[in-house]
Structure formats: structure tokens, C-alpha cells
Amino acid sequence: MAEASTTVKMKTKPATSGFEMPKFEMPKFEIPNFEMPKMEVPAAFREFAEKGVSQAKEGYEKIKAASEEATDLLEETYSTASKGSADYGLKLIEVTRANTNAYFDFASQMFSVKSVSEMVELSTAHARKQFETLTAQSKELTSLAQKVATETAEPIKAGVGKALKKVA
């Protein structure tokens, strides 16, 4: 076996102005060359190894296909959920704007009230109208949320069903 040289040589430059770090050379190691005896691999072992490699390739292909399907499923689900969330957010902004405008209209009408009975009548009418509006808005938002949830869950449901059919 060859011995590795481990001497470290320092290179320095002649002194100039200031301090300079000495440079070191890394030791050079040689990898010993071992002769491996040549052996004949039995045919049964070769067949077993080839069969194992073939099964590993098949397993890898199945896992790869399943991973690609799962990735596609997640992308579709995320896309649907993202679009649905945006639609819901826009509807919520629309509802908020309508309610804010109704309140400012009510407040401006309250400034023109001339009697207490007119104020009570105006307040009662506004409260009734807002209750009806809020009920309708709540139904609309609930319906939209259910639609988003259903559309988001549909690809997952289909993907799980498809996976269960493959397993069975």
C-alpha cells in the first residue's frame, strides 16, 4: 500500500507593509488501488437481482404516476378554492358597501327629522329594511360558501374515488 504524504508546506512572501496570512498547501493523499478477485455470480442470484430491479422499477413507476395524479389533484383543488375565495371576498365587499350606503342614507334622513314620532317611524322602517336585507345577504353568502366548498371538495372526492378503484 502506498503511504500518503502529510507534510504541510508554508509559502510566504517577503515582508512588505502590513500583515499577510501565510498560505498553506493541502496535503495530497493517494487512494490505494485494491485488486478485487473475479468471481462468477450464480445464475439464480442474477435472476433474483434482475427480478428485484424489475419490481423496483415497476413500483417506482406506480409511485411516480400516483404522485403526478396527486399533484394535479392538489393544483386543481387549490385553483378552485382560490377562485371561490376571491368570489366570496368580492361578494362580502359588495354586501359591506350596500350596508354602509344604507346606514349613511339613514343617517342623512335622521338629520331632516322634525319630531320624535318621525324619528321613531324612520328608525323602525330602517331597522325592518336592514333586517330583511341582512337576511337576504346571509342567505346569499351561505349559498356562495356552500358552492365554493362543494366545488373545492369535488376534485378531492373524485381523486379519492379513483384511487380506491385502483386499489380494489
Q: What is the pLDDT of residues 76-123, one digit of tens each?
A: 888 888 999 999 999 999 999 999 999 999 999 999 999 999 999 999
What is the span of the domain harbouring residue 84? 60-168
- 128 in a structural domain: yes
Any domain includes 1? no
The confidence score (pLDDT) of residue 121 equals 94
What grid cell was written down for 73? 389533484
In the chain, the number of structural domains is 1
What one-letter code names the amino acid at 51? K
Given a contact cutoff of 8 angstroms between Cβ atoms, the answer to whether 81 and 152 are in contact is yes
CB 81 within 8 A of CB 130: no
- Per residue in 20-35, pLDDT (tens digit) is 777 777 777 787 777 7
Q: Would 21 be classed as within a structural domain? A: no
